[in-house]
Structure 1
Amino acid sequence: MQKTMRKILMVFCIAAIFAVPVYATNWKSIGMDKSGAHIYLDLDSVEKIDTNTAIFWMRGDDFKEGMIGYVYTAFNRSTNEYTLIKINVYNLNGQLIGMFNYGGISEVNHGMRPKTFKNKHKVSNNDQTTRQIKNWIWPNY
């Protein structure tokens, strides 16, 4: 009986490990947005889809608002367009206060309204953040 309980507990622990989202630690600063939030790109999460498109996690630390946001993003370097895939927002204590998935099930908390989030964006080639993203993902571009 005790061996069976250990096995069940072990399987539960392994399943829990894979169910919890993990944010990598290879964050590279790409600047500050207009509201003063510090923006970072996670180089460990970069997955190149083709020669012009990559998917990756970005983080925005907005200490003035008391939030840290993680945004899963697809970016096309030739068109300078990016698409938001998923947004997770945490308070400064690390508690999840809101999340939104563009591709499926969404949970909206603490006033996050899906209609306030545009899914596709076009940015200028001269934008400093855009240049930084391109330099980190495609260094020989």
Structure 2
Amino acid sequence: MASWAELQASVPEFAAGVRGIFDKGRHKTMATVRADGSPRISGIEAEFVDGELTFGSMAGSNKGADLRRDPRLAIHSPSLDPPEDVPESWQGDAKITGKAVLTHEVTEGEAPGPRFRVDIEEAVRVRVGEPADHLLIEVWRPDSGLRRIARR
């Protein structure tokens, strides 16, 4: 597992691309594991703060309960369609998988509840390649670094 800062230090250009995609919109999608082992999809607002990917959960939420029981998660960036006329100009979409680590509880104010950071197991960026006849899939893992896959 790695922090966002470690990913950035390892592959700065890739990290900038992933972050640019995540920063395209406020709302992301998160998958967690329910008590019965089935997946739960939730909306989430996540942000990059002080070298970490962070997010909060409302007090008493199912998502927060999922993460306290089983910290595994996947977060998907906002998703926009590629431009039809110039598909290779599409930034792509991005996914980060890992584990939620509870950092603190907010007990007062507008949004009480747990706050988490993400220990990153994998970061993925998918975009249209050049020429626009294939997808370029970039996968980074802390134990194996960055690899690129062209899929036609």
TM interval, short-chain normalised = 0.3 to 0.5
So what's the TM-score if we normalise by structure 2? Answer: 0.37
So what's the TM-score if we normalise by structure 1? Answer: 0.39
Structure richer in helix, relative to its length: 1
Select the structure of larger CA radius of gyration.
Answer: 1
Question: RCO greater where, 1 or 2, for CA within 8 Å and sep 6 or more?
Answer: 2
